[in-house]
Chains A and B, each alone.
Chain A
Amino acid sequence: QKEVEQDPGPLSVPEGAIVSLNCTYSNSAFQYFMWYRQYSRKGPELLMYTYSSGNKEDGRFTAQVDKSSKYISLFIRDSQPSDSATYLCAMSARDRGSTLGRLYFGRGTQLTVWP
């Protein structure tokens, strides 16, 4: 079992829809949770960054973390065609016996928002 599970989709929705993207994880050591957006043939762009359980809102985007269930979500309201991209969840933890942290990525969910 991978440490971070994410449904790769593809997910296709009409413009204006609410989009829900999710990841589950198994490692209780994960402390910080991120969502990256990656357009085709481009580098990942940081969208949201959360630490504690609960919700964090930024414009049309809401990130939700439930540490007790080991489940994170990203909601996109009023989705736009420009939101069409791959969304990667990522979580960070320190290596055992190390002071260095690293990111663990989900597979990414490919989203298409059609006009």
Chain B
Amino acid sequence: DTEVTQTPKHLVMGMTNKKSLKCEQHMGHRAMYWYKQKAKKPPELMFVYSYEKLSINESVPSRFSPECPNSSLLNLHLHALQPEDSALYLCASSLTAGGAQETQYFGPGTRLLVL
């Protein structure tokens, strides 16, 4: 089973709201990723967690706050977002983040609209 699940599938929020995106995998992977994807563009890396520790933050604004409560779960907390943050947010996981060979498996994404 190579399944990564994400909830919710769709989210509409105002600029003053606080919301959270959730991601879960049960493949025993120890690396998890958040990506942002705009229409007709490739995914852009936001954060990497390796063994539940934040390893890469691609200079993402602080209105995005990641959290990795355990090795199977990854959250992305959203606060005071801007309309330009509207996008498909993808979670991915891989066995580890320690080697270039690790294949990443993506979830279906959460489509976010900020009004």
Chain A contacts to B: CB under 8 angstroms: 8, 30-32, 34, 36, 41-46, 49, 51, 88, 92-94, 99-103, 105-108, 110
Q: Size of chain B's interface in residues, with CB distance under 8 A?
A: 28
B28 within 8 A of A: no
Which residue of B41, B43, B45, B48 contacts A44 across the interface (Cβ within 8 Å)? B43
Tell me the complex Cα distance, A100–B18, Å: 31
Which residue of B6, B98, B107 contacts A100 across the interface (Cβ within 8 Å)? B98
- Name A32's closest neighbour in chain B (CB-CB): B101
Q: Are B43's CB and A105's CB within 8 A?
A: yes
Tell me the complex Cα distance, A30–B101, Å: 10
What's the least CB distance linking A90 to chain B, in Å? 8
Told that A32-B101, A94-B99, A100-B48 touch, could you supply 12 new A-B pairs with CB distance under 8 A? A36-B106, A41-B109, A44-B106, A46-B2, A46-B103, A88-B42, A88-B43, A100-B97, A101-B98, A103-B104, A106-B42, A107-B42
B50 within 8 A of A: yes
Q: Mark B79-115, 1 if CB is under 8 A from A, else 0.
A: 0000000001010000001111111111111010000
Tell me the complex Cα distance, A103–B111, Å: 22
Tell me the complex Cα distance, A43–B89, Å: 9
Chain B contacts to A: CB under 8 angstroms: 2, 4, 6, 40-43, 45, 48, 50, 55-56, 88, 90, 97-109, 111
Q: Are B101's CB and A31's CB within 8 A?
A: yes
Tell me the complex Cα distance, A88–B103, Å: 14
**Which residues of chain A have C-beta atoms less than 8 A from B90's C-beta?**
43-44
**Which residues of chain B have C-beta atoms less than 8 A from A32's C-beta?**
100-101, 103
Tell me the complex Cα distance, A93–B102, Å: 10
Tell me the complex Cα distance, A99–B102, Å: 12
**Which residues of chain B have C-beta atoms less than 8 A from A45's C-beta?**
106
